[in-house]
Amino acid sequence: MRRNSTMQEKQLINKLKELQQIKPRKDWVILVKNQIISQPEKKQTHRFSDFLSVFPALVYQRKLAYAFATFLFVMVGMFGLSQYQVTEQPQTAFVSQENQLQNNFETANKKLDDLTQIVKDNKTENIAPAIKDFQASISEATRSLISNISQKNSKSIKDIAIQVKKIEDNKKQLQTLGVDLGATKESKDLNDALAPLVQQEINDLEKTTLTEDQQKIMQEVKDLYADGKYSDALEGILMLNN
Amino acid sequence: MDNYQEQFSHIYDQYIDKIYRFVYFKVSSQEIAEDITSKVFLRGWEAFQKQELAQRGNILNPSAFLYQIARNAVIDHYRDKAKMKVISTEITPQIVDPKVGLEEGAILSSEFQEVKLAIQNLKQDYQDIIICHYIDDMNIPEIAEIMSKPEGTVRVMLHRGLKALKKEMEAKKVIES
């Protein structure tokens, strides 16, 4: 009886251990990681909210309110409102998030072009700062991409794919000149940020009817996705969308 | 990426599967598990930043730190939604996760689903200990730290929890037959 009970317990433990196979979705894991790590520092927000929190308290300070009102009367009396010329304000450029994403990718490509030119001109002392510049612009583009994906802004996959392909082509050109940017952290982050986008695109394409050739490309895209080569998979998607 | 971002990135990679599983067995769906797990890591990241800024040091035990946040997040979830024991899984054993992924669907055979439902019917402390020890492969001292309980108490609770789980599963079989 006792032995039977121990056996049952062992079976139960084995069943529990088998539940270790349950894992979260790969694309979700990457998306959440990117979203969390790109969160701005809380410290600054606290400081700002602390600063703002002073105002409600001040509103109830009668003496201060009277002093402020008196000051306004004096100022208006002395100069008159019409005396103040409205100076031309600098025009604020409102750029939509989608355009921001496009701009950031274009900037990254521009920085890469600059870097290529510097390498071609053999200005060795400028190479390191130019690489740093390019990496910063790639990080910025990655952040915009993550923000776009998380806010479900449907920036055309084609535009993103074209920009990513251009970056990859430029990198290859640089490689022929002896500068390898392939394995940087920034490139990996960009690659990872593309995962949810590629997954979504695969899901959408699976719902459409594909020709035999397209099905072959689709299989390659899926294999690349499974290998974590999301930017290469995106290139395949670009071919399918054309 | 800054140094402390990298540190947290390593912590994330190391614990995301475990924390997800820990939460998954305590809630009804994959969607809720994902939602709570992302909140856990977000809170963890915020706390990590504060720690970094305040002391320029590291969180000494990220495992205990994250599991503690996860436990509280699950409690908050049930408190907010007032779902705790409103619907007994015993009465409605047919309730299954409505949004199970393909991969997960293959793994979650009826037998696994049965174990999951039985775990959800246990007391919360028993759930925590069983998930941590048998599913997330943690040892007794680690669990004791997370639960702020003496190791001896955790051992006894693990034994009782397993017994209770066995009882739950046997009871289900009786109901089904």
Interval B36-45: pLDDT, tens: 999 999 988 8
- Its pTM stands at 0.51
Distance between CA A19 and CA B25 in Å, rounded?
A: 10
Higher pLDDT, A48 or B68: B68
Interval A89-145: pLDDT, tens: 444 445 566 677 778 888 888 888 888 888 878 777 777 778 888 888 888 888 877
Non-local CB neighbours of A234 within 8 Å, separated by 6+ positions: A157, A160, A161, A164, A165, A194, A197, A198, A201
pLDDT level of residue A172 (50, 70, 90 thresholds): confident
Interval A22-56: pLDDT, tens: 889 888 898 888 888 876 655 444 455 555 555 55
Q: Does A203 touch chain B (CB under 8 A)?
A: no
pLDDT of residue A89: 45
Would you say how long chain A is, in residues? 242
Contact call for B49 and A12, based on CB within 8 A: no
Chain A, nearest residue to B31 by Cα: A24
ipTM computed for the complex: 0.76
CB-CB: which of A16, A23, A32 is closest to B115? A16
pLDDT level of residue B159 (50, 70, 90 thresholds): very high
The residue among A6, A17, A23, A30 with the most chain B CBs within 10 A of its CB, best to mutate, is A23
Give CB contacts under 8 A, 24+ apart, made by A108-114.
Answer: A108/A134, A108/A137, A108/A138, A108/A140, A108/A141, A108/A163, A108/A167, A109/A163, A109/A166, A109/A167, A109/A170, A110/A137, A111/A137, A112/A167, A112/A170, A112/A171, A112/A174, A113/A170
A35 neighbourhood in chain B, CB within 8 Å: 38
Q: Does A9 touch chain B (CB under 8 A)?
A: yes
A115's enclosing H/E stretch is helix A97-120
Contact call for A39 and B116, based on CB within 8 A: no
Contact call for A23 and B21, based on CB within 8 A: yes
